[in-house]
């Protein structure tokens, strides 16, 4: 079965600084990869997804992620964060419509 | 289409009571999923439906939990004889599966507190 490890439980960063949220996955088959964002007391919102093709995927709100098959990673990046990016971010892996989530990374953007 | 709707948003219940949650998926989506999310954790899969058929149930779904999707549209999740350990956010998601996997659309969740 596939699984996801998010390497940082919390990432504090100053406004306008770049950020990288790390995600590694484990699977014996080809999978699809996703990043979701969750604001307090809300459901999950899809940021971006990798299904196939270009390994650099661009999503909403200026986020992007790069799929690295050899390192089994799918790290999320943003060149300049805003206060409004403060939220919980979840990496997810899916195979045959079975989606599994990491434990999440709490991104806190400080002024 | 207003997305995936869940009702209620919050539910406080006494231990031992039964509760039922409702999920209305995006109308053209054929799959519906239930997840449970506890504080500080990612969502954990509970069960999913393809149209009205329940195709998979997690081992997390004890005998006290039952889910239905009678007409392949909305779904209900019932918890009988609630326990404090059932306190969590219950998330519903839907997706359209046509030759691939396009990611899920989540509802805002139902937060259950068992006191």
Instruction: Read off the pLDDT of residues B72-111 as tens digits, 9 standing for 90 and up.
Output: 899 999 999 999 999 999 999 998 876 655 678 899 999 9
Q: How many CB atoms lie within 10 A of CB A105?
A: 22
> Residue B1: which pLDDT band, with cuts at 50, 70 and 90?
low
Q: What's the pLDDT score for residue A95?
A: 81
B15-30 average pLDDT score = 95
- Look-up: residue for tokens 């007409």? B71
The C-alpha R_g of chain B, in whole angstroms, comes to 13
| pLDDT at B71 exceeding the cut of 90 | no
Q: What's the pLDDT score for residue A1?
A: 74
Indicate yes or no: CB of B105 within 8 angstroms of CB of A46: yes
Q: What is the mean pLDDT of chain A?
A: 92
The C-alpha R_g of chain A, in whole angstroms, comes to 13
| pLDDT-above-90 percentage for chain B | 69
Q: Which range, of A8-12, A96-100, B30-34, B101-105, averages the lowest pLDDT?
A: B101-105
Instruction: Give the Cα separation of B46 and B58 in Å (integer).
Output: 5
Q: Considering CB atoms only, which of A49, A98, A104 is closest to B42?
A: A104
Whether B93 and B3 have beta carbons less than 8 Å apart is answered as no
Q: What's the pLDDT score for residue B99?
A: 62
| pLDDT at A76 exceeding the cut of 90 | yes
Instruction: Give the Cα separation of A65 and B3 in Å (integer).
Output: 25
Residue B12: partners with Cβ closer than 8 Å, 6 or more residues away:
B113, B115
Interface A–B counts its CB contacts (< 8 A) at 58
| pLDDT at B67 exceeding the cut of 80 | yes
Give the best-scoring range by mean pLDDT among A16-20, A66-70, B96-100: A16-20
Interface-testing mutation among B39, B42, B105, with chain A (most A C-beta atoms within 10 A):
B42
Q: What is the mean pLDDT of chain B?
A: 91
Q: What's the pLDDT score for residue A40?
A: 83
């Amino acid at each position: 079965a596939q699984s996801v490890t998010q390497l940082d439980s919390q990432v504090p960063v100053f406004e306008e600084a770049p950020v990288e949220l790390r995600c590694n996955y484990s699977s014996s088959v080809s999978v699809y990869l996703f990043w979701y964002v969750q604001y307090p007391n809300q459901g999950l919102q899809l940021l971006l997804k990798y299904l196939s093709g270009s390994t650099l995927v661009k999503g909403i709100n200026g986020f992007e992620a790069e799929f690295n098959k050899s390192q089994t990673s799918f790290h999320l990046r943003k060149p300049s964060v805003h206060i409004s990016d403060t939220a919980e971010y979840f990496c997810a892996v899916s195979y045959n419509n079975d989606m599994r989530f990491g434990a999440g990374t709490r991104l806190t953007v400080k002024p | 289409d207003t997305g995936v709707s869940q009702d209620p948003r919050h539910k406080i219940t006494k231990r031992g009571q039964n509760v039922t949650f409702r999920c209305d998926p995006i109308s053209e989506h054929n799959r519906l999923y239930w997840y449970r999310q506890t504080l500080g954790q990612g969502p954990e899969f509970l069960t999913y439906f393809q149209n009205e058929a329940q195709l998979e149930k997690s081992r997390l779904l004890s005998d006290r939990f039952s889910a239905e999707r009678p007409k392949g549209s909305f779904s209900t999740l019932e918890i009988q004889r609630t326990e404090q350990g059932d306190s969590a956010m219950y998330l519903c998601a839907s997706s359209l599966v046509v030759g691939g996997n396009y990611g899920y659309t989540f509802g805002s969740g139902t937060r259950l507190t068992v006191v």
